[in-house]
Amino acid sequence: MALSFSSMGVFLSTFLFCFSLGAEARTSPVSSVVSEELFNSIFLHKDNAACPAKNFYTYDSFIMASRSFRRFGSCGSLTTRKREVAAFLAQISHETTGGWATAPDGPYAWGLCFKEEVSPQSDYCDSTNQQWPCFPGKTYKGRGPIQLSWNYNYGAAGKALGFDGLRNPDIVSNNSLIAFKTALWFWMTEQKPKPSCHNVMIGKYVAREADLAANRSAGYGLVTNIINGGLECGIPDDARVNNRIEYFKRYATLFNVDTGPNLDCAYQKSF
């Protein structure tokens, strides 16, 4: 689909802004968006004794991982940058939540509680994928902040980040820096026909004919569709989608930004 002149101008200004951060980009654009104090106020209970990931997900690891993905949290206006980081943190919070309805400080103060999927129902080996064949005895269950799953994701993430994801998938739940890098890799990487979560949150997503027919409008709901749309989208009032939204609402408030439109994917078809 062709961009209009005005849309092209927005696209170009956004694109250029990502690469004009100068000295700030040589440190970490993300650290200027989310301080350690804010990070800790977001994840009030991640180091609670009840959380299996206690002391695993550190602020330093998050910031160090972000330096490998310079465009994360660095594109567009300050509001856009904050909203993207808040959306990312909200999604990984849902994936790793330890909260419950009557939890201290509320259910949305318990993100980053788990580093491995609890009671996986599968070994997540797609034996038909010849590019990333499963290694004997290894399982590719959810691990890390984004709960990276399936052999094809472990293989591709490992190749991009410099570890052997097929032979050593456990490193994602044993190394905090690599764990955050896998989550950011998934966030930043386009996997056609899916756009990247990053491009959606910075306004770079352009709906194609198939997207329009599937009601895949830009917004946080489309990010949920990218991450787990096959199981969660196209279902009105789905509890999992609502949980993701409530995390985002809380974090957007802490970042002092609005959430933007299209928060859910209730009427979107999955990719």
Whether 95 is a known active-site residue: answer: yes
Please enumerate in sequence order all residues whose Cβ is within 8 A of that of 51, keeping only pairs 6 or more positions apart, or say none.
45, 98, 110, 112, 113, 114
Unique residue bearing structure tokens 């991450």: 227
CA distances from residue 200 to 9, 14, 148, 222, 227 in whole angstroms, order as listed: 17, 12, 20, 8, 12
N-terminal to C-terminal alpha carbon distance within the chain = 18
Tell me which residue of 74, 105, 102 sits closest to 198, measured CA to CA.
74
Is residue 214 a contact partner of residue 265, using CB atoms and an 8 Å limit? no
Rounded to whole angstroms, the Cα distance separating 182 from 170 reads 12
Catalytic residue among 24, 84, 95, 190: 95
The letter for the amino acid at 207 is: A
Active site residues: 95
